[in-house]
Structure 1
Amino acid sequence: MSAFDLASFIANNKEDEAQKIIHNAMKAFDNIAISFSGAEDVVLIDMAVKANKNVKVFSLDTGRLHAETYRYIEQVRKHYNIKIDILSPDREALERFTQEKGLFSFFEDGHKECCGVRKVQPLKRKLATLNAWITGQRKDQSPGTRNVLAFAEKDSAFSTDEKDLFKFNPLANWSSEDVWNYIKMFDVPYNELHVKGFTSIGCEPCTRAVLPNQHEREGRWWWEESEHKECGLHIGNLIPTAQQ
């Protein structure tokens, strides 16, 4: 594949239509995959499958997910008849971490170290095999870290000197209402935890239901300040970036 022209891609997709962005991203890259965990991501899968039956999908199994989430991953796999690459933490690294810190160190030390072992490092290994990835990030998910979010960008966090990695965020300008309207309209499967008051779903110890009118990320790492509520999968959100 020839060098990807990011500026041209943005110019040609300025209408910011999610379906079009996904289609054109998959057309530009053969080696591209969707990161799947929640409601936004299954919307991407639904759109992508309609554009290309051979869509690649991966999901992070931290070893601490809710039982409902494991059932949901399997439901999505069967519903769309797709393969989902399940990524696990490095066994030796995880054993060293839990032997030294125990199973709940994040309540005292913050969640970054645990997320680094269980999420960031497996993601980094996966992204090293890809040229591009698609995420379900939205600007309004975390105003402190995602309010400046391009629908197409060079992934400054995971690119290397040898290879540029590109990231697509087709739902950047969507709201939670937009996501759920799509899910209802097209009968898209969703995690049963959503009907129990969970809005943003991560690991079981670090996620809880939220009250009416609370921001959806309030249920994540609730013992920490709001500006810290990124796990490290989207490290670039914590780095100042130019607006699209």
Structure 2
Amino acid sequence: MSAIDLYARHTAGFEERLAATLQTLRDAAAAHPGRVVQSTSLGAEDMVITDLIARHQLPIAIGTLETGALHAETVALIGRIEQRYGVAVEVYKPVADAVIEFVRKNGDKAMYESLALRKGCCGIRKLEPLGRMLAPRTAWITGLRREQSNNRGEMQRIEADDAGRAKINALIDWSWNDVWHYIQQNDVPYNPLHDQFMPSIGCAPCTRAIGVGEDFRAGRWWWEDEAAKECGLHVHQVEPLPAR
């Protein structure tokens, strides 16, 4: 059974949520001309946003972090996006020497040994490249949804990150059914690992399939306490921006 078969459902209010998301993206492009980027993890939510950006020809850059530890299926989506939509994806990789030194000192399974080492790995492979992606920007767009986890339940549609940039959570009030309904209706390419019961996909050593009844993000850093399950990209102190 595919993820579409499992999850795609039309639910009440979908058209309104879709319209609100599209307006949010248009407003972001207008408010931050040439300085807004979609930071895509290449997961299902982000593929919806990429499709909307490309379908409506919005002047929003698309960037991703190629950590050097992603599944091959995830990396392959970069080329699929470029071929399908005719847009360039900005790819940001970690500093090679930093990765080599971390692995030399801590081993290639350091993420399992302690929370500090796992976050150190995320810092090198994700946070530093993200900093380069965002450096010339005044706004960035994510696929975060309140439904994804307790940690994300209090998010606002538009927040200010710790550098003062606008952080725009364009799908904040979408359900998992909404995401897959959109993918089904618009034939959006997606990571085939979603068909293998991986709703949340990160680096290969830190992602597994979930079982029946498990939480949406149970397959991410499954050996850690629930409260620690973030890589650092979305745990900064944020405040809602005033309405425009």
Q: 2:124 aligns with which of 117, 126, 135?
A: 117
Change beyond 3 A, Cα 1:243–1:134: closer
Q: 1:28 aligns with which of 13, 18, 31?
A: 31
Q: 2:72 aligns with which of 67, 74, 83?
A: 67
> What letter is aligned with 2:193?
L
Q: Does 1:141 align with 2:145?
A: no
Q: Distance in 2 between matches of 1:152 and 1:219?
A: 28
1:150 equivalent in structure 2: 156
- CA shift for structure 1 position 113: 1.0
> After superposition, where does 1:1-244 map in structure 2 within 5 Å?
17-30=20-33, 31-37=35-41, 38-52=43-57, 54-110=59-115, 111-143=118-150, 145-156=151-162, 159=163, 164-236=164-236, 239=237, 241=239
> What letter is aligned with 1:34?
Q
Q: Distance in 2 between matches of 1:139 and 1:243?
A: 17
CA contact (8 A) 2:29 2:59 kept: no
2:11 equivalent in structure 1: none
> What letter is aligned with 2:207?
T
Q: Distance in 2 between matches of 1:25 and 1:240?
A: 18
Unaligned runs of 5+ in 1: 1-13
Change beyond 3 A, Cα 1:232–1:22: same
Q: Distance in 2 between matches of 1:240 and 1:28?
A: 19
**Number of aligned residues:** 222
1:5 equivalent in structure 2: none
CA contact (8 A) 2:159 2:240 kept: no
CA contact (8 A) 1:148 1:243 kept: no
The alignment's TM-score, normalised by the length of structure 2, stands at 0.86
Q: Distance in 2 between matches of 1:235 and 1:16?
A: 28
Q: Distance in 1 between matches of 2:26 and 2:240?
A: 24
SS in 2 for 1:34: strand
CA contact (8 A) 1:183 1:189 kept: yes
- CA shift for structure 1 position 241: 4.7
Q: Distance in 2 between matches of 1:155 and 1:124?
A: 12
SS in 2 for 1:17: helix
Change beyond 3 A, Cα 1:216–1:15: closer
> What letter is aligned with 1:22?
L
For 1:98-121, what per-residue CA distance to the aligned partner results, in whole angstroms no more than 9, with x for missing partners? 111111101011221110110011
CA contact (8 A) 1:42 1:188 kept: yes
SS in 2 for 1:218: coil
SS in 1 for 2:210: coil
Change beyond 3 A, Cα 1:108–1:137: same
- CA shift for structure 1 position 134: 0.4
CA contact (8 A) 1:149 1:243 kept: no
For 1:145-179, what per-residue CA distance to the aligned partner results, in whole angstroms no more than 9, with x for missing partners? 111111111112xx1xxxx3111001111111111
CA contact (8 A) 1:136 1:172 kept: yes
Higher relative contact order (CA 8 A, sep 6+): 2
> Would you identify which runs of 4 or more consecutive aligned residues in structure 1 move more than 6 Å?
none
> What letter is aligned with 1:199?
P
